Amino acid sequence: MKVPFSPPRIDDVVIKEVTDALQSGWITTGPRTKEFEKRIAAYCDVPHVVCVNSASAGLELILRWYGVGPGDEVIIPAYTYAATANVVMHCGATPIMIDAEDDFNISALKIKKAITPKTKVIIPVDIAGFPCDYDLINALVHEPEIQKMFIPATEEQEKLGRILVLADAAHSIGAVYKDKKSGKLTDISVFSFHAVKNLTTAEGGAICLNLPQVFDTEEVYKSLCIKSLHGQTKDALSKMQIGNWKYDIVEAGYKCNMTDVLAAIGLVELERYETDMLPKRKQIFDAYSNAFKQYDQFIIPPYETREKISSYHVYLLRIKNISEAERDEIMQRIFEQEVAVNVHFVPLPMFSFYKENLGYDIHDYPIAYKNYAAEISLPVYYDLSDEQVEMVIDSVLKAVGIQK
Ligand SMILES: *Cc1c(COP(=O)(O)O)cnc(C)c1O
């Protein structure tokens, strides 16, 4: 491939920081992870952040913390990656899928009709890094008739007294909605630092706590650290301190803590995220938009509006009036020019698991299907050169039969 899809940015600065971590004598959760948590919290302007080994683990940890279980319903978009639904399944609850809007995100207007007395959590997803309509979603969970429907079953649910809004912000670190950064837009948000994401630690995730005053966020932070490490009251580092070996197990916790080796990558990436990464991604988005907006066939994805600024995660180009099969053929012609493209996402109701086990039918999600059938994701990453951007543009134009 002349243009790969999304290689991570790994340079000497990252390698040096990781080497330092390896040589420091402390490789699992320790000072670098704690520093990374503090820096993310400062970046997003939230009181506490818990780092974990993936966004999936982070989302599940929060569902478990909120006491989501069998008989409960969690509202999610149909247009997302499988992780959003699977974490709900792991808890024994039922994912309730909602159709998309034209901007690819969950339809905030359609959420209301899906709310029942069993609804415990809504998980909006900022697809491609473009924030959802959070004013609408946050207002919804506070509506008196919706709050009245809520039946609390745990201490946390009692305290909040309403549906929890848990953003799957896997794509959207650095995105802005009405002057607030992703991480601060809902009760709790979870970032992914998977290898293909904007900010990577190879694998990793972070939970941003932005809970209302009724919660002692510091206490919640501590309990999530314990929950992410087998319910152990002291982490390995504090146990190491002289005379501090004794600990208790307070619950059957999980094992999803972040390691210092990986936090080392994250510290470097976060430091230069606003100065290097976001401007570079914006520049690529603008180059694609400027090229494709000259032709009537394309639908340019929204990424900057009066209220929202994307994190420029993936460029979701759509081609007007084509079928899914025609889209696949166009992709094939792009691949033949050695340019890697992708599709984000196949709507979940199209996968056999959700179709056969949960009875989902893609016909109930016409906008998600329409968006998917016309969509081709173009490469966006730090090391993508101007020449490569031109190659991507040329390959798309050629594949759809446009003479420049
Ligand atoms: C990548 C992704 C996740 C999962 O992130 P991991 O860190 O790999 O667990 C969740 N939701 C969406 C929308 C994603 O794209």
The neighbouring-strand residues paired with 309 are: 176, 304
- DSSP 3-state assignment of 89? helix
Rounded to two decimals, the pTM is 0.98
User: Do residues 342 and 381 touch, judged by C-beta distance below 8 A?
Assistant: no
Nearest CA to ligand 1 atom 8: 194
Domains, the chain, in order of start with CATH, read 12-98+108-270 (3.40.640.10), 273-399 (3.90.1150.10)
What is the tens place of the pLDDT at every residue in 111-160? 999 999 999 999 999 999 999 999 999 999 999 999 999 999 999 999 99
Read off φ and ψ for residue 128, nearest 5 degrees. 65, 10
To test the pocket of ligand 1, the residue of 53, 56, 342 to mutate (highest count of ligand atoms within 8 Å of its CB) is 56
Q: Who contacts 353 (Cβ-Cβ below 8 Å, separation ≥6)? A: none
The predicted pLDDT at position 235 comes to 87
Mutate to test the pocket of ligand 1, among 194, 258, 345, 380 (most ligand atoms within 8 A of CB): 194
pLDDT at residue 24 in the model: 97
Question: Residue of the nearest CA to atom 5 in ligand 1?
Answer: 55
Q: How far does the centroid of ligand 1 lie from the alpha carbon of residue 192, in Å? A: 6
Could you give the maximum distance between any two Cα atoms of the chain, in Å? Answer: 75
pLDDT tens for each residue of 163-220: 999 999 999 999 999 999 999 999 999 999 999 999 999 999 999 999 999 999 999 9
pLDDT value, residue 239: 84
Considering only CA atoms, which of 224, 280, 269 is closest in space to residue 251?
A: 224
pLDDT of residue 243: 86
Residue the block writes with tokens 């798309």: 396
Nearest ligand 1 atom to the CA of 196 is 1
CA-closest candidate to residue 44, choices 163, 177, 221, 200: 177
User: Which residues' Cβ are closer than 6 Å to ligand 1?
Assistant: 54-56, 80-81, 83-84, 125, 168, 170-171, 192, 194, 205
Instruction: Give the distance (Å) from ligand 1 centre to CA of residue 312.
Output: 16
265 touches 287 (CB < 8 A): no
Distance, CA 195 to ligand 1 centroid (Å)?
10
Question: With contact defined as beta carbons under 8 Å apart, do 319 and 327 qualify?
Answer: yes
pLDDT reported for residue 403: 86
Which among 80, 70, 77 is positioned nearest to 120, based on CA atoms? 70
pLDDT tens series, the chain, 404 aa = 899 999 999 999 999 999 999 999 999 999 999 999 999 999 999 999 999 999 999 999 999 999 999 999 999 999 999 999 999 999 999 999 999 999 999 999 999 999 999 999 999 999 999 999 999 999 999 999 999 999 999 999 999 999 999 999 999 999 999 999 999 999 999 999 999 999 999 999 999 999 999 999 999 999 999 999 999 998 888 888 888 889 999 999 999 999 999 999 999 999 999 999 999 999 999 999 999 999 999 999 999 999 999 999 999 999 999 999 999 999 999 999 999 999 999 999 999 999 999 999 999 999 999 999 999 999 999 999 999 999 999 999 999 999 87
Cβ burial of 401 (10 Å; 0-12, 13-18, 19+) is exposed
Distance between CA atoms of 269 and 200, rounded to whole angstroms?
7
In this structure, the chain runs to a length of 404
> Which DSSP state fits 106?
B
DSSP letter (8 states) at residue 350: G
| Ligand 1 atom closest to Cα of residue 205 | 7
Report d(CA 217, CA 231) in Å as an integer: 18
> Which residue, by CA, sits nearest to atom 13 of ligand 1?
81
**Counting atoms of ligand 1 from 1, which one is nearest the CA of 344?**
15
CA–centroid distance, 239 to ligand 1, in Å, is: 32
DSSP helix/strand/coil, 290: helix
CB neighbours of residue 343 within 10 Å: 15
What's the pLDDT at 237?
Answer: 85
